[in-house]
């Protein structure tokens, strides 16, 4: 803590909070400042109304203010799941702030059919709450090798998300199209997925990864798509490797 060390900003996924990075902090914090805020509306922050005008720039500006308040100018950026969508847009639109980018188990730059599915999901959230949806979808998220007690923890964790936040977020940010942002990302970038991810195949992921000039793809064995949770330590060490390489370049 008495050394000046670079900072790493961690952006969590949908229906989560900064707590989601529990497996990363022990790996990262020994040599870096780790910032893992709750996104607007999630975790301990105030729930957002269902009609809140969500945009990627609103969220990016929130995180910029966090880092400004902490006096951190430039930092390494990591995003998981939809946090990786936000992180890609962040790196493209605020390149002067981002040293390296790591995105883990993140969706394609545009999710086909997401907007069409949003009304049905909103009805499910209204009718049954977020926990019902989290339980219904958790198997693909964490994969077949995740311990049963861990699966239950994640269901309860995600299920605490406010319904109003979740409805607004799924209608907007989950449908975001960041295809135009990818060629604008110039920092060293690492994309991590699994070979059995239900979010996208390795080939589909490689298509958009190659649109980021200074990037590489790391494919881990497994059938989870929330790779930041299922392979936390491996992913955190890969992010540190990228950070170390950026210092030597």
Closest CA relative to residue 110, chosen from 165, 192, 180, 170: 180
Domain 7-248 has CATH 3.40.50.1820: yes
Position 112 scores a pLDDT of 83
| Whether 230 contacts 144, CB under 8 Å | no
| Whether 238 contacts 104, CB under 8 Å | no
Residue 237: how many other CB atoms lie within 10 Å: 13
Low-confidence residues of the chain: pLDDT under 50: none
Position 249 scores a pLDDT of 58
Q: Distance between terminal CA atoms of the chain?
A: 26
Query: In the chain, where are the structural domains located?
Result: 7-248
For residue 103, give both structure tokens: 């995105």
Closest CA relative to residue 14, chosen from 65, 78, 71, 85: 85
Closest CA relative to residue 104, chosen from 7, 230, 248: 230
């Amino acid at each position: 803590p008495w050394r000046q060390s670079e900072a790493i900003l961690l952006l969590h996924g949908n229906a989560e909070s900064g707590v989601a990075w529990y497996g990363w902090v022990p790996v990262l914090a020994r040599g870096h400042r780790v910032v893992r805020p709750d996104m607007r509306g999630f975790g301990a922050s105030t729930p957002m109304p269902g009609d809140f005008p969500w945009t990627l720039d609103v969220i990016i500006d929130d995180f910029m203010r966090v880092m400004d308040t902490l006096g951190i100018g430039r930092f390494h950026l990591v995003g998981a799941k939809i946090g990786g969508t936000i992180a890609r847009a962040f790196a493209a639109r605020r390149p002067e702030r981002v040293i390296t980018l790591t995105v883990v188990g993140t969706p394609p730059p545009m999710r086909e059919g997401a907007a069409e599915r949003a009304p049905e999901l909103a009805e499910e959230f209204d009718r049954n709450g977020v926990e019902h949806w989290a339980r219904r979808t958790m198997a693909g998220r964490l994969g077949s090798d995740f311990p049963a007690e861990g699966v239950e923890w994640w269901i309860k964790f995600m299920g605490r998300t406010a319904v109003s936040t979740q409805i607004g977020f799924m209608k907007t940010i989950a449908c975001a199209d960041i295809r135009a942002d990818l060629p604008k990302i110039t920092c060293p970038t690492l994309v991590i997925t699994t070979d059995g991810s239900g979010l996208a195949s390795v080939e589909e992921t490689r298509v958009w990864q190659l649109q980021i000039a200074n990037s590489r793809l790391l494919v881990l064995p497994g059938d989870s798509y929330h790779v930041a949770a299922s392979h936390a330590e491996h992913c955190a060490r890969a992010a540190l490797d990228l950070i170390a390489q950026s210092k030597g370049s």
